[in-house]
A and B are shown apart, each in its own frame.
Chain A
Amino acid sequence: MDKNFTPMLIGKESEAFDSDDYIFELKMDGIRCLAFIENKKVDLRNKRNLKLLAKFPEMKDLGQYVRADCILDGELYCFHDGIIDFTMVQKRALLNHPFKIQIESNRSKAVFTAFDILFYKNQDVTNLTLLKRKELLQECVNETRHFNRSRYIFKEGIAFYHKAEELNLEGIVAKRIDSIYQVNTKTQNWIKIKYLKDDDFVIVGYIEKKQHISLILAQYDQNELVYIGQVITSLQNLPKVKHSHIPLFDIKNAIWFTPYLAARVKFMERYDNGSLRQPVFVDFIYDKDIKDCQIKLIKNYDKLDLVDS
Chain B
Amino acid sequence: MAAAHKGAISFGLVHIPVELYKTTQENTISFNQLCKDTHERVRYKKYCPSCNKEIKSEDIIKGYQYEKDKYVLMTQQEIDALKAEKDRTIHILHFTELKEIHDLYYEKNYYAIPEKSAAKAYELLFKSLSSLKLCAIGQCVIATKETLVAIVPIQDVLIIKTLFYEDEIAELPKSISHPKVSSAELKMAKQLIEAMKEPFDPSLYYDSFQKKLKNVIEAKIQGNEVEISDQLETGTPIDLMEALTQSLKQKQAESRAH
Contacts and interface: CB of A to CB of B under 8 A. Distances in A.
Which of B27, B231, B242, B249 is most buried by chain A, counting CB atoms within 10 A of its CB?
B27
A34 B25 CA distance: 25
Nearest to B239: A306
B185 interface: no
A96 interface: yes
B235 A82 contact: yes
A306 B232 contact: no
Interface in A6-37: 25-26, 28
Nearest to A155: B252
A163 B27 contact: no
A106 B244 CA distance: 28
A109 B240 contact: no
A28 B241 CA distance: 10
A308 B237 contact: no
Interface string B12-25: 00000000000001
A210 interface: no
Given A103-B218, A107-B225, A97 B235 contact: no
B256 to A, nearest CB: 12
Contacts of B218: 102-103, 106
A97 B25 contact: yes
B247 A308 contact: yes
B245 interface: yes
B153 to A, nearest CB: 20
Nearest first, the 8 A-B pairs at minimum CB distance are A308-B247, A151-B241, A306-B243, A79-B237, A151-B245, A98-B27, A148-B238, A82-B235
Given A103-B218, A107-B225, A151-B244, 15 more contacts: A26-B241, A26-B244, A28-B237, A97-B25, A97-B26, A98-B25, A106-B218, A107-B221, A111-B237, A151-B245, A153-B249, A163-B247, A164-B244, A306-B235, A308-B246
